[in-house]
Amino acid sequence: MSAPRPLAGSRAARRRAYLIGEMLVLYLGAPLGIYVLVHFWRIPLFMILLPVAVLYILLLTFDGAFVWRRLLSKRLARNETLSVLGLFALTAPMLTWLTFTWAPEDFLHFPRRLPALWLLVMVFYPLISVTTQEIVFRVFFFHRYEGLFGAHVWPLILLNALLFSFAHIIFQNWVSIVLTFLGGLLFAWRYVRTDSFWAVVLEHALYGNLLFTIGLGRYFFTGISNLHFG
Cβ atoms 133, 150 nearer than 8 A: no
The reported pLDDT for the residue numbered 222 is 76
**Angle at alpha carbon of residue 130, lines to 139 and 53, rounded to 5°:** 60
Q: What is the pLDDT of residue 49?
A: 86
Query: Is residue 226 within 8 Å of residue 46, measured between CB atoms?
Result: yes
Handedness of CA 167, 171, 177, 180 (dihedral sign): negative
Determine contact, residues 169/31, Cβ cutoff 8 Å. Answer: yes
Enumerate residue ranges in the chain where pLDDT < 50: 1-7, 226-230
Look up the pTM and report it: 0.91
Q: What is the DSSP letter of 170?
A: G
CB 137 within 8 A of CB 184: yes
For residue 95, give the amino acid letter.
L
Query: For 93-144, how does the pLDDT look when each residue is reduced to its tens digit (9 = 90+)?
Result: 999 999 999 999 999 999 999 999 999 999 999 999 999 999 999 999 999 9
d(CA 176, CA 109): 18
- For residue 46, which of 219, 221, 174 has the smallest C-alpha distance? 221
- Please state, as a whole number, how many other Cβ atoms lie within 10 Å of the Cβ of residue 201: 20
Position 163 scores a pLDDT of 98
Question: What span, in angstroms and rounded, lies between the C-alpha atoms of 43 and 16?
Answer: 35
Q: What is the pLDDT of residue 2?
A: 39
pLDDT score of 104: 94
